[in-house]
Amino acid sequence: MSLIEVKGLRKSFGSLEVLKGVDLSVEQGERIAIIGGSGCGKSVFLRSLCLLEKPTAGQVFIDGKEITAAKGGQVDEIRRSMGMVFQKFHLFSEMDVMDNLCLAPTRILKMPREEAEKKAMELLGQVGLASRAHAWPTVLSGGQQQRIAICRCLMMEPKVLLFDEPTSALDPTMVGEVLAVIRMLAKRDLSMLIVTHEMNFAREVASRVLYFADGGIYEQGTPDEIFDAPKREKTIAFINKIKYFTYEIDRQDFDLMQLQGGIQNFGEKYGLNQKRTYRLQICCEELIYELLSHCYPNRNDVDLKLTVSHAEADGATRIAINCGGAAYNPFEQDEDGLGVTILKKMATQLDYRLEGGRNVIDISL
């Protein structure tokens, strides 16, 4: 039996459907990192597991018990097997650290105060904060408060820990101390789901990585599979932080100056040097005119889409063109035009194929 079983989970906010039927099984001891762009539903998914967000449809089972079908006190009972660490620390400011840690176990689990304090001191010692046991949250740094928040979850001995971007509210100098605590917990074979933007951390700690897009789990795999060999287009773009410029042409007499200005702005925005940007402009211009003249002879109405992309991870730039009309491979002609000549000198890869009756060109620079 899986520790967590999610079936067809959906969540809408009015007409906006954020989760579109998510299925997931989490086994005991798994450490799952959830990554993806802002607004893709990562945090909503995590909060839906413990009903902090009420799903629109679907089922969630925690250790065999369906929390989505539970009512009243049953929900709280199932929730006790989960510990949630939020972006903001949510410590009670009117209580010192010790009282923050002891409140839930003494009231909910009926743990004797002396036993709770002993357990609290053990946990504080593990995260390097034993000396702050009676400090007020307001005098602690953000990193210290988040470490206390993690200890508060552990006081309830949960079966799974849910981390909702635990470092996003921290100053960069404090991120490392919180990640160090999570690494320590990972070594203890604790089950964890971690929504994070820290890619290196996800790679190091996770046993499985979920990439969220299009309202659900777009791609998943081991850290090596996701970070070194992603298979799907949006995952590849996210991992490599690929930026795009697209331009669609529907007439032979298109606005060349608008196209060139768009490429110039794209190059300036993403750090391409002027020589590279100029060559990119020349290559695109010459290649487009060559395709238009050969694919659409004697026609003014055309259907061509240009995409220029730049990967921040390795600095690679790519030109992709998709157009209809007659089949034409510009790289297999007896005489090359200026754009093709430059491309052959600059490119690390030139690819032409006829796909679904359309000319498809991919060029890596």
Using alpha carbons, select from 83, 210, 61, 90 the residue that is nearest to residue 155. 83
Residues 206/223, Cβ–Cβ less than 8 Å: yes
Residues 90/149, Cβ–Cβ less than 8 Å: yes
Same domain as 97, residue 49 = yes
pLDDT surpasses 80 at 335: no
What letter does residue 171 receive in the DSSP assignment? -
Instruction: Give the DSSP H/E element, type plus range, for residue 259.
Output: helix 256-269
pLDDT at position 334, please? 67
What are the beta bridge partners of residue 300?
none
Same domain as 93, residue 228 = yes
Binned at pLDDT 50, 70 and 90, residue 168 comes out as: confident
pLDDT surpasses 80 at 342: no
Same domain as 246, residue 224 = no
Using alpha carbons, select from 53, 171, 146 the residue that is nearest to residue 91. 146
What are the beta bridge partners of residue 355?
358
pLDDT in tens, 270-308: 888 898 898 889 889 988 998 999 999 888 889 999 999
Average pLDDT of the residues in 6-11: 97
* Residue 165, token pair as written in the block: 């971007």
Same domain as 323, residue 204 = no
* Residue 93, token pair as written in the block: 């400011």
Average pLDDT of the residues in 50-54: 92
SS3 call for 167: coil
Name residue 11's amino acid.
Answer: K
Residues 191/157, Cβ–Cβ less than 8 Å: no
pLDDT surpasses 70 at 192: yes
Same domain as 332, residue 197 = no
What letter does residue 256 receive in the DSSP assignment? H
Within 237-281, strands assigned E span 242-251
CA angle 196/10/208 to nearest 5° reads 35
pLDDT surpasses 90 at 314: no
Binned at pLDDT 50, 70 and 90, residue 14 comes out as: very high
pLDDT in tens, 83-113: 999 888 889 999 999 999 999 999 999 999 9
Pairing relation of β-strands 216-221 and 65-66?
A: unpaired
Same domain as 200, residue 108 = yes
Among residues 239, 260, 279, the one where a domain terminates is 239
Average pLDDT of the residues in 336-340: 66
Dmax of the chain from CA atoms? 89
% of residues, the chain, pLDDT over 70: 98
- Measured CA to CA, the distance from residue 215 to residue 247 in angstroms comes to 27
pLDDT in tens, 57-66: 999 999 999 9
Same domain as 336, residue 220 = no
Binned at pLDDT 50, 70 and 90, residue 364 comes out as: confident
Range of the domain at 216: 4-239
SS3 call for 31: strand
- Measured CA to CA, the distance from residue 361 to residue 319 in angstroms comes to 8
Looking up residue 285, the CATH number of its domain turns out to be 3.30.565.10
- Measured CA to CA, the distance from residue 218 to residue 58 in angstroms comes to 18
- Measured CA to CA, the distance from residue 270 to residue 291 in angstroms comes to 28
% of residues, the chain, pLDDT over 90: 59
Binned at pLDDT 50, 70 and 90, residue 54 comes out as: very high
Average pLDDT of the residues in 323-330: 92
Same domain as 228, residue 119 = yes
pLDDT surpasses 90 at 336: no
| CA–CA distances in Å: residue 5 to residues 62, 108, 161 | 7, 26, 15
Same domain as 150, residue 61 = yes
Highest mean pLDDT among 162-171, 251-260, 337-346: 251-260
Give the count of domains, the chain. Answer: 2
CA angle 248/254/256 to nearest 5° reads 95
Same domain as 137, residue 63 = yes
Binned at pLDDT 50, 70 and 90, residue 150 comes out as: very high
pLDDT surpasses 80 at 341: no
Binned at pLDDT 50, 70 and 90, residue 337 comes out as: low
Mean pLDDT (the chain) is: 90
Among residues 239, 269, 295, the one where a domain terminates is 239
| CA–CA distances in Å: residue 354 to residues 170, 305, 325, 329, 357 | 50, 15, 11, 9, 6
Among residues 214, 239, 264, the one where a domain terminates is 239
Average pLDDT of the residues in 216-221: 96
Average pLDDT of the residues in 40-63: 94
Binned at pLDDT 50, 70 and 90, residue 338 comes out as: low
* Residue 335, token pair as written in the block: 């005489």
- Measured CA to CA, the distance from residue 225 to residue 244 in angstroms comes to 24
pLDDT at position 326, please? 93
Average pLDDT of the residues in 50-55: 93
Pairing relation of β-strands 317-323 and 301-311?
A: antiparallel
Using alpha carbons, select from 18, 20, 21, 86 the residue that is nearest to residue 50. 86
pLDDT at position 231, please? 93
Bigger pLDDT: 340 or 362? 362
* Residue 251, token pair as written in the block: 């007439």
Using alpha carbons, select from 161, 155, 158, 148 the residue that is nearest to residue 105. 155
Task: For residue 140, give every residue at least 6 positions away whose Cβ sits within 8 Å of its Cβ, in sequence order, or none.
Answer: 97, 132, 148
The runs of H, that is alpha helices, within 97-171 are: 97-107, 113-126, 142-154
pLDDT in tens, 16-44: 999 999 999 999 999 999 999 888 999 99
pLDDT at position 70, please? 86
* Residue 36, token pair as written in the block: 């993806």
Same domain as 108, residue 128 = yes
Same domain as 210, residue 110 = yes
